[in-house]
Amino acid sequence: MEEVKAWASENGFSLKRTPQGFVNIPLTEDENEDGEKARREIQQEEFEALPEEEQKRLQKKSEEVSLKTLETLRKIRDLEKSLKERIVKLEAEICRSAIMPYLSDIKERFGGAGGGGESTVLETWIDSLAEDIIDNFGMFVAAVKDENAEVDFTRYTVNVFVCNDPEDGAPVVWETNPTYYNLSGKVEYESRQGYLYTDFRKIVPGAFQKANGGFLVLDAEKVLLNFMSWEALKRILRTGEATIENLGEQFGAVPVSSLRPQPIPINLKVVMVGTPYLHALLQYYDPEFLKMFKVRADFDTDMERTPDTEKQMAQFIASCLKKEGGLPFAADAVAEVIDCSSRFAEDQKRMSTEFNRISEVIVESTAWAKAEKADVVRREHVKRAIREKRFRSDLIQERIARSFKDGLVRIDTAGEIVGQINGLSVIDLMDYRFGHPSRITANVFMGQEGVVNIEREVKMTGPIHNKGLLILSSYMGRKYAQDAPLSLSARITFEQMYGGIEGDSASSTELYCLLSALSGVPLKQGIAVTGSVDQFGNVQPIGGVNEKIEGFFEYCLHSGLDGEQGVLIPAQNARHLMLDEPVIEAVAAGKFFIRPVSTIDEGIEVLTGVSAESIHRKVSNKLKKWAKKAEKHKKDGQAGADKDEGEE
């Protein structure tokens, strides 16, 4: 520009910069006081006073100067542009040389090679990252020059979506709250001044993404209870892709623009945990269920009790203590927990696998040991934990026991009575169950109605109990009605029982009571009975044998043990005995007994002290006598009817 200004001056013009650009002003010469010539800018009035020819000449010359100025400015702009491009290119080269070693390491470590020599998605993203850093080089320079400069580096933040280290093995994820978002992931939003904002940092993974390449364990019931979770799970298994999509986008009346992360290829094994009943429902109502879940594995609630499994139970106790921070268990405490496990399984040769119940005993045992300031947990601490747990749940049992003690409910535990026996039943409160005796009585008389259960007549019994009564009737017919019809009317009832009755475990008890009523031989009231019976008189095993024995023992203990009290149980239930210590001690001392029996004949001999053959003979004679009387009454009635017809 200095050259242009000099050229303009030589041609009689002054070149001045103004806010609107460059202005050309004509120059004129004047003499100063010293007689020297000096150049100055022509004023507007002077220019207008010039001859017209001179004005035209100056205007033409001014245009030449303007053209020259514009040409020069254009060259300057071209030079500046070229210089800026060279500077930008230089800065880009410097920036590239600074960042590429780091990015190359990342590409080499994580990028890999695409199939057929193509770049992977990560390599492509790293290349675009490098170009973006170079394009925004000035932003980094500003941040270095001024620490207080407000520079937003959010675009370069990394959202660590999922981190599954291969060295740690395949991931195993147990999702305890399988909501739709906890399974599929979500895009979160942030509220700012009444508006919702989001970016890639708000993309949150779900259990599908966390378990990718491994195993996902879900509770089937919880999945079904959560809205859209079951459909999301099926879509993943069907397509092999996980798409993060908020529910509002699927069900909103108006589509909303939001982030749409690309679908992620998913390769995982899903393990659904549930009940057989739930499995059957899904199989019946969802045709896709068996296509997606082809492998079924059933888990038992108990396992065989062997030295190896006892050792494994001890290891479980140790792991539970390590997790809960409990005191160490002595050998006798471990043995007591193992016995408790067998009690839960109701079998001496098996142990329960209901580890939640066992864990409760372990934790409570530790608490009682700590309360006594013991260094280790002993057998007595485990027993106390079991005893205290029962105490917290046995309110109903206490009330029933009080009604017996106060004489409100009659139970005889001594003496002999014809047609009366003590049966045993179990009340199950889900987390606690207990046994108690029930007085069963039978009344027999001539007739053709057969055996009638009073509770059945008033619809207080369930189908299994009714089946047991029909089996009892079949036994009576097989045993005593081979030569003549069974002429019998009998009424059997559970005295002072006002709730529903279900199960066949009292069918042998009812049969003993009926045989006593028919034979006239009294039954020992100190002996309670449990067990079902088949059509051939075999006594069959039942459930809840420990609770039934302990329940009757408590009543006998209250009335006074005399050595004549005990319980008849099916022989097959002998292996299921895991009784409380007071019962074991009473049996050892001869104050209480437990007698396994295999047949009705064995049981009736224990209950009466009379041989089974004698009982059957008495019953048979009574039934034959009634049959003859029934036949005589029938003939007398027929003869009377014929006589009446003749008189007419």
Q: What is the CATH number of the domain that holds 192?
A: 3.40.50.300
Domain end: 87, 119, 153, which one?
A: 153
Q: Are residues 568 and 435 in the same domain?
A: yes
Beta-carbon contacts of residue 572 (< 8 Å; ≥ 6 apart): 540, 541
Quick check: 127 and 114 in contact, CB under 8 A? no
* pLDDT score for 465: 92
- Is 400 part of any domain? no
Q: Are residues 442 and 577 in the same domain?
A: yes
Q: What is the CATH number of the domain that holds 469?
A: 3.30.230.10
Q: Are residues 34 and 105 in the same domain?
A: yes
Alpha carbon 86 to chain centroid, angstroms: 65
* pLDDT score for 450: 87
Nearest alpha carbon to residue 14 among 28, 24, 29:
24
Q: Compute φ and ψ for 205, nearest 5 degrees.
A: -75, 160
Task: Please check the confidence at residue 637 and state whether its pLDDT lies above 70.
Answer: no
Length of the chain as a residue count: 648
Q: Are residues 281 and 347 in the same domain?
A: no
Q: Could you list the beta-strand ranges (E) of 154-228.
A: 172-175, 186-187, 190-192, 195-197, 203-204, 215-219
Mean pLDDT score, 48-54: 76
Task: Please check the confidence at residue 129 and state whether its pLDDT lies above 60.
Answer: yes
Sort 90 into a burial class: Cβ within 10 Å, 0-12 / 13-18 / 19+. Answer: exposed
Mean pLDDT score, 255-277: 87
Highest mean pLDDT, choosing among 21-25, 132-136, 608-612, 624-628: 608-612
6-20, 125-139, 615-629: range with lowest mean pLDDT: 6-20
pLDDT tens, 352-364? 999 999 999 999 9
Alpha carbon 132 to chain centroid, angstroms: 47
- Is 401 part of any domain? no
Beta-carbon contacts of residue 263 (< 8 Å; ≥ 6 apart): 241, 242, 243
Give residue for tokens 């036949």.
631
- Is 159 part of any domain? no
Q: Are residues 467 and 417 in the same domain?
A: yes
**Distance in angstroms (rounded) separating the CA atoms of residues 342 and 305:** 8
Mean pLDDT score, 376-393: 95
Could you tell me the residue range of the domain that residue 307 belongs to?
302-392
- Is 642 part of any domain? no
Mean pLDDT score, 482-489: 84
- Is 415 part of any domain? yes
Q: Which one-letter DSSP state was computed for residue 12?
A: T
Name the token pair of 530. Answer: 């449990």
Side-chain half-sphere exposure of 554, counting CA atoms within 13 A: 19
Task: Please check the confidence at residue 118 and state whether its pLDDT lies above 60.
Answer: no
Confidence of residue 249 (pLDDT cuts 50, 70, 90): low
Q: What is the number of structural domains in the chain? A: 4
* pLDDT score for 123: 83
The radius of gyration of the chain from alpha carbons, rounded to an integer in Å, stands at 50
- Is 167 part of any domain? no
Mean pLDDT score, 623-647: 72
- Is 640 part of any domain? no
Task: Please check the confidence at residue 642 and state whether its pLDDT lies above 60.
Answer: no
Q: Compute φ and ψ for 22, nearest 5 degrees.
A: -85, 140
Q: Compute φ and ψ for 558, nearest 5 degrees.
A: -70, -40
* pLDDT score for 531: 96
Please, what is the Cα angle at 351 between 540 and 529, to 5 degrees? 25
* pLDDT score for 88: 81
Percent of the chain whose pLDDT exceeds 70: 93
pLDDT tens, 147-199? 776 777 788 888 888 988 877 889 999 999 999 999 999 988 888 888 888 88
Quick check: 163 and 212 in contact, CB under 8 A? no
Amino acid identity, position 310: E
Task: Please check the confidence at residue 31 and state whether its pLDDT lies above 80.
Answer: no
Quick check: 400 and 511 in contact, CB under 8 A? no
| pLDDT, greater one: 362 or 97 | 362
Q: Are residues 359 and 460 in the same domain?
A: no
Question: Considering the chain, what is the average pLDDT of its residues?
Answer: 88
Q: Are residues 550 and 492 in the same domain?
A: yes
Q: If DSSP codes are grouped into helix, strand and coil, which group holds residue 312?
A: helix
**Distance in angstroms (rounded) separating the CA atoms of residues 201 and 189:** 10
Quick check: 533 and 572 in contact, CB under 8 A? no
Percent of the chain whose pLDDT exceeds 90: 55
* pLDDT score for 17: 75
Beta-carbon contacts of residue 347 (< 8 Å; ≥ 6 apart): 302, 305, 575, 576, 578
| pLDDT, greater one: 381 or 145 | 381
Domain end: 153, 186, 214, which one?
A: 153
Task: Please check the confidence at residue 371 and state whether its pLDDT lies above 80.
Answer: yes
Q: Are residues 308 and 288 in the same domain?
A: no
Mean pLDDT score, 637-642: 60
Quick check: 444 and 518 in contact, CB under 8 A? yes
Side-chain half-sphere exposure of 439, counting CA atoms within 13 A: 17
Alpha carbon 42 to chain centroid, angstroms: 98
* pLDDT score for 120: 77
* pLDDT score for 19: 72
Confidence of residue 343 (pLDDT cuts 50, 70, 90): very high
Side-chain half-sphere exposure of 568, counting CA atoms within 13 A: 32
Q: Helix 355-371 to helix 307-324 angle, to the nearest 10 degrees?
A: 60
Q: Are residues 92 and 116 in the same domain?
A: yes
DSSP letter string, 79-121: HHHHHHHHHHHHHHHHHHHHHHHHHHHHIIIII---GGGPPPH
Q: What is the 3-state secondary structure (H, E, C) of 577-609?
A: CCCCHHHHHHHHCCCCEEEEECEHHHHHHHHHC
Name the token pair of 605. Answer: 């001999």
Task: Please check the confidence at residue 524 and state whether its pLDDT lies above 90.
Answer: yes
Q: What is the CATH number of the domain that holds 308?
A: 1.10.8.60
Mean pLDDT score, 207-235: 95
Highest mean pLDDT, choosing among 91-100, 279-288, 399-408, 445-454: 279-288
Q: Compute φ and ψ for 330, nearest 5 degrees.
A: -75, 165
Q: Are residues 443 and 545 in the same domain?
A: yes
* pLDDT score for 641: 56
pLDDT tens, 406-426? 889 899 999 999 999 999 999
* pLDDT score for 12: 75
Q: Are residues 187 and 63 in the same domain?
A: no
Q: Are residues 285 and 306 in the same domain?
A: no
- Is 402 part of any domain? no
**Distance in angstroms (rounded) separating the CA atoms of residues 368 and 361:** 11
Q: Compute φ and ψ for 243, nearest 5 degrees.
A: -110, 125
Quick check: 388 and 364 in contact, CB under 8 A? yes
**Distance in angstroms (rounded) separating the CA atoms of residues 536 and 530:** 17
365: how many CB neighbours lie within 10 A of its CB?
Answer: 29
**Distance in angstroms (rounded) separating the CA atoms of residues 429 and 345:** 17
**Distance in angstroms (rounded) separating the CA atoms of residues 256 and 252:** 8
